[in-house]
Structure 1
Amino acid sequence: MWRRATGVAVVLLALGAAGGYVAADRTRPEPVALDLPEPVPAVSPAVPTPPAVELLPDPSSPALAPALPLEQMDFRVGRRGMGVSVGIPTGWAVYKEAEGDPAWNATVPGNPTYTFKLRVALVAGRHQSVGVAKLSRKEALRSAVDEDELADLTYLAETEDAFVATYVQDDHLRVTMERWVSFGSDTAYADISVTGRKVDEQGLADLLARVAASAEPLAALPKEEKTEEPSS
């Protein structure tokens, strides 16, 4: 029987991320005031503090709603290769991320950049465990920070096969939720992720959980047989 990478912990991560981790992130002890504040002599030179990142306003498009209707779609390597079938929100536009790369993005047609999107990537060909695949993805994000493509990468929640993080891209704060799906083994088969604004968090968590639950593997199709032209 196929095993989807679900489980109570991941469901709680996906469904609770929009509220729980945000509340936890912002729950800090109140500062305690001293009765008689006195200057403290410097022990060593102060460490330079990097300037705070100034964020641009998010697009004003409506927030991603939860419980969107889904329609099952097949994604294959080439026309007849192996693939995965997942639910995609009805009416969303699907496009290839890059030529030759088995990854697809889906979003509302006409939505501005830096709203929200769903990404489905086939990773079975890498023959990596879920843990290794997740670590590789985190390394890729760290490299993007080193290359100044991203900034302020922060992990907010994590399980064995999923994580929730925020980062700044082109002066926009982004929320990303990523999950790896496997079938019948620990080998990662597909990487499903959702990315959006803070206002999209509830919709992102709901969409990730439901799309991952809908995932089914697709075997490669038989090769097409060539038919010989009848001789005259």
Structure 2
Amino acid sequence: MRRVLLVGAVLLALALGVAGGYYTGDRLESPEPRASGDAEPLGTPTTPTTPTPSLPVKTPKPDDTPKLQPGLVYQKHIFTVHPGGQTVQLSIKVPADWQLTRQNDRPQEVKYLDPLHERGVRVEAVRPVAKTPSEARKQLVIDLQKSQPPENDLKILRQDDQQLVSDDGTARPVSTLFYTYIPGDTRRYVMVRWVATEGELADVAMSITGLPQDTEGLLEVLAAATKTVHEIG
């Protein structure tokens, strides 16, 4: 009887282990997906399951916020971030009235938000430095396509690789991804750029976010940030 009870306990523990297991998803946009279910006895055929239908694509609410106009006044900022336990000091120019914000769980980056909190610049020190700007862009496209649910209507608008000249006259490789999606009620326009400030590998990533009508102004912000971002020291 003790042997029967022991075997039963082991099988119960295995079943609980399967039910509690999960696989890792992408951290960028969505929670980690989880897989769970009861263990089937050996030799028992499983019953086919019907896939859960996806939600319909969201209809974005109109946002009549006046568009961000080019011709902004810029200000240089110096800040410190901590990617992977390292300390990195960066400088960059962003619109003068955009305010610095930080998140405790994202020590590798800072954000500058406009007074309406409708637009922002996120600047990240990439460590370890391991990918070219182009490689980092291609990986993000894969991650976004995996992580964004169909109802968010992710649209990849453009991708490109360039050599741009910084404000000190040096050429730096950059790679940029342009996309829109609907994370909440309104459609958002996003530009993500990886910059190799020294050499060929991306050591800075930045994203410029706003509304679709802001495109022209956001492009100016992106250009200013790309030219002026530098690591200090």
**TM-score in same-fold range (> 0.5):** yes
Q: 1:51: Cα distance to partner?
A: 4.1
1:174 correspondence with 2:179 = no
Aligned mates of 1:133, 1:117 — CA distance in 2? 21
1:127 correspondence with 2:141 = no
**Which letter does structure 2 place at the counterpart of 1:189?**
D
- Structure having the higher Rg: 2
**What's the counterpart of residue 108 of structure 1?**
114
Give the 3 Å change call, closer, same or farther, for CA 126–63 of structure 1 in structure 2: same
**Which letter does structure 2 place at the counterpart of 1:57?**
P
Quick check: 1:124–1:188 contact (8 Å CA) kept in 2? Answer: no
Using CA pairs under 8 Å that are at least 6 residues apart, name the structure with larger relative contact order, 1 or 2: 1
Q: 1:98: Cα distance to partner?
A: 3.9
Q: List gaps (5 residues or longer) in structure 2.
A: 1-52, 162-174
Aligned mates of 2:220, 2:87 — CA distance in 1? 30
Q: Which of 62, 73, 76 matches 2:77?
A: 73
Aligned mates of 1:145, 1:132 — CA distance in 2? 20
Q: Which of 64, 67, 78 matches 2:68?
A: 64
Aligned mates of 2:205, 2:185 — CA distance in 1? 26
Q: For 1:164, what is the secondary structure of its paired residue? A: strand
**What's the counterpart of residue 138 of structure 1?**
141
Quick one: percent identity of the two aligned structures? Answer: 24
Aligned mates of 1:52, 1:95 — CA distance in 2? 32
Quick check: 1:96–1:105 contact (8 Å CA) kept in 2? Answer: yes
Q: List gaps (5 residues or longer) in structure 1.
A: 1-47, 220-232
1:208-230 superposed Cα distances (whole Å, 9 cap, x missing partner): 011111111222xxxxxxxxxxx
Q: Aligned-residue CA RMSD in angstroms?
A: 2.6
Alignment: residue pair count: 166
1:11-70 superposed Cα distances (whole Å, 9 cap, x missing partner): xxxxxxxxxxxxxxxxxxxxxxxxxxxxxxxxxxxxx99745321222x43321212111
Aligned mates of 2:135, 2:212 — CA distance in 1? 28
**What's the counterpart of residue 153 of structure 1?**
154
Q: 1:121: Cα distance to partner?
A: 1.1
Q: What is the TM-score when the length of structure 1 is the normalising length?
A: 0.63
